[in-house]
């Protein structure tokens, strides 16, 4: 038995339909029509697939339906997929009953054979609860997984623009959601794609982003969720700021909504790498397509209604686009390191982080990469979305910031100043000649990646 979850439009159904041929797999997608209609539809679909005469009236309960599925006579191995499993019941309480019926049928199945039952669904919290402690199916799943949006490299396979820079820019606009990327025409300029898909009032990606939260099951106050995402996108990153901007009470209800948005991948919760447990969490928009929408579309709806989207790109988006891509390039940098690590022998990262704070004089400090390693060292570094090669001054400024952080009492900064602590630099336009040699004097490990590295096979 397997469990696959993931938010809408990440490609769960496509993946499951593509994994096995029709002769080996019976595939059923439940609809939001109620348990009884889904039960009858499943039995009718099963009769067509198997060629057996099946009367819905002979199987009035979910237990009898599941027993029928588990006893199917067919070529082995057999795969049964029930997609949108949560629709087999009206609510979570009803779904627990359905799961209990499945568990009872599973215990009574015939002698072991090659059989795979896959339960899939887009109501992530509800579906993952099926495997939780105390749930009827607890301990039954041999495999569990959540399908996430693509990283930058896989997104580039769906939107294979000619230049590495455009591939990163495309990821910054459309993110890794396959449904969004499927609409991209990599044979046309990126600007034309953005204007057509994301800026135009009729843009396919724009309409999908605008309705994304409406499509998520289980969000009972969608207007509040949408307001929360908009507040974070416009710079209200702490809970009290979000509450003030949205008018939502700063209580457990807001905390639960933020947690739900993080679980679904719309927001990310961030703390400094050495944050105290009681230190306030800051939030950021995690989905690049949502971030682009709230940065360039949502505040300018009236203008976009009466303006050619290509003109809006030239007049407004293009001059601000590089500064918008920069934070997304930091996400790409960490993804690229993890992608290249095994083949290049880079040290294994315990967790990725960054650090923002002040030195002893009260001056602000911001370090793009602060990553404790599993071997006890601390790797730090900088990420530059630039158009000219990075010079060695970047390295010396980085060391100076580490010294200031160490003087302010940051233990990780002391560890990062050790001669054996690696530094990571990711620069879109590469590095000036001799950068790595100078930065690595004294034996310090230096990892320097440019755009060509990021897309190396």
Q: Which tens digits make up the pLDDT trace of 120-142?
A: 998 888 888 899 888 999 999 99
Give the CATH class of 153-326.
Answer: mainly alpha
Contact partners, residue 119, CB within 8 Å, separation at least 6: 1, 2, 3, 4, 82, 85, 127, 130
Any idea which fold 2-146 has?
Rossmann fold (3.40.50)
Any idea which fold 346-454 has?
Trna Endonuclease; Chain: A, domain 1 (3.40.1350)
69 — phi, psi (to 5°)? -60, -45
DSSP labels, 23-92: TTEEEEE--TT-HHHHHHHHHHHHHHHH-----GGG--SHHHHHHHHHT---SSSEEEEEETGGGGSSSH
Can you give the pLDDT at residue 22? 72
Q: What percent of the chain has a predicted confidence (pLDDT) above 70?
A: 98
Mind listing the pLDDT tens digit for each residue in 74-94?
A: 666 789 999 999 999 988 889
Q: Any idea where the domains of the chain sit in the sequence?
A: 2-146, 153-326, 346-454
Instruction: Kindly report the pTM of this predicted structure.
Output: 0.90
**Residue whose tokens read 């407004």:** 316
Length of the chain: 457
Of 157-171, 208-222, 323-337, 377-391, which range is least confident?
Answer: 208-222
pLDDT at 73 over 70: no
Sheet (strand 423-427) strand order: 369-372, 378-384, 423-427, 446-449
- The token pair at 150 is 């693509």
Give the mean pLDDT of 440-454: 96
């Amino acid at each position: 038995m397997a469990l696959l979850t993931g938010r809408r439009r990440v490609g769960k159904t496509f993946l499951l339909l593509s994994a096995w041929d029709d002769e080996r797999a019976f595939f059923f997608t439940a609809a939001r029509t109620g348990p009884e209609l889904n039960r009858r539809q499943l039995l009718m679909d099963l009769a067509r697939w198997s060629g057996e005469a099946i009367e819905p009236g002979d199987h009035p309960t979910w237990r009898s339906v599941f027993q029928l599925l588990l006893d199917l006579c067919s070529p082995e191995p057999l795969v049964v997929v029930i997609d949108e499993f949560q629709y087999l019941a009206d609510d979570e309480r009803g779904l627990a009953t359905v799961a209990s019926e499945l568990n009872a049928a599973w215990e009574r199945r015939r002698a072991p054979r090659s059989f795979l039952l896959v339960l899939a669904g887009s109501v992530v919290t509800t579906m993952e609860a099926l495997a939780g402690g105390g749930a009827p199916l607890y301990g039954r799943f041999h495999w569990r997984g959540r399908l996430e949006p693509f990283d930058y490299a896989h997104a580039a396979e769906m939107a294979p623009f000619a230049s590495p820079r455009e591939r990163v820019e495309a990821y910054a606009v459309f993110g890794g959601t396959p449904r969004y990327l499927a609409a991209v025409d990599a044979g046309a300029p990126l600007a034309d794609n953005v204007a057509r898909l994301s800026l135009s009032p009729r843009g396919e990606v724009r309409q999908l982003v605008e309705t994304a939260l409406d499509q998520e099951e289980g969000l009972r106050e969608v207007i509040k969720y949408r307001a929360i995402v908009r507040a974070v996108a416009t710079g209200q990153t702490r809970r009290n700021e979000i509450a003030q901007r949205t008018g939502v009470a700063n209580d457990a209800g807001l905390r639960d909504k933020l947690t739900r948005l993080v679980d679904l991948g719309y927001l990310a919760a961030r703390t400094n790498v050495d944050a105290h447990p009681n230190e306030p969490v800051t939030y950021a928009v995690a989905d690049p397509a949502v971030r682009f929408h709230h940065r360039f579309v949502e505040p300018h709806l009236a203008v976009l209604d009466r303006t050619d989207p290509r003109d809006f790109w030239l007049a407004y988006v293009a001059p601000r686009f590089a500064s918008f891509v920069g934070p997304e390039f930091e996400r790409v940098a960490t993804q690229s390191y993890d992608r290249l690590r095994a083949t290049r022998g880079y040290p294994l990262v315990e967790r990725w982080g960054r650090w923002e704070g002040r030195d002893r004089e009260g001056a602000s400090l911001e370090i793009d990469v602060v990553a404790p390693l599993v071997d006890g060292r601390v790797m730090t570094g900088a990420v530059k979305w630039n158009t000219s090669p990075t010079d060695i001054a970047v390295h010396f400024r980085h060391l100076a910031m580490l010294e200031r952080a160490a003087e302010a009492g940051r233990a990780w900064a002391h560890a990062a100043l050790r001669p054996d602590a690696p530094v990571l630099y990711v620069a879109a336009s590469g590095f000036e000649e001799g950068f790595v040699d100078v930065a690595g004097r004294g034996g310090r490990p230096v990892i320097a990646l440019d755009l060509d590295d990021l897309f190396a096979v």
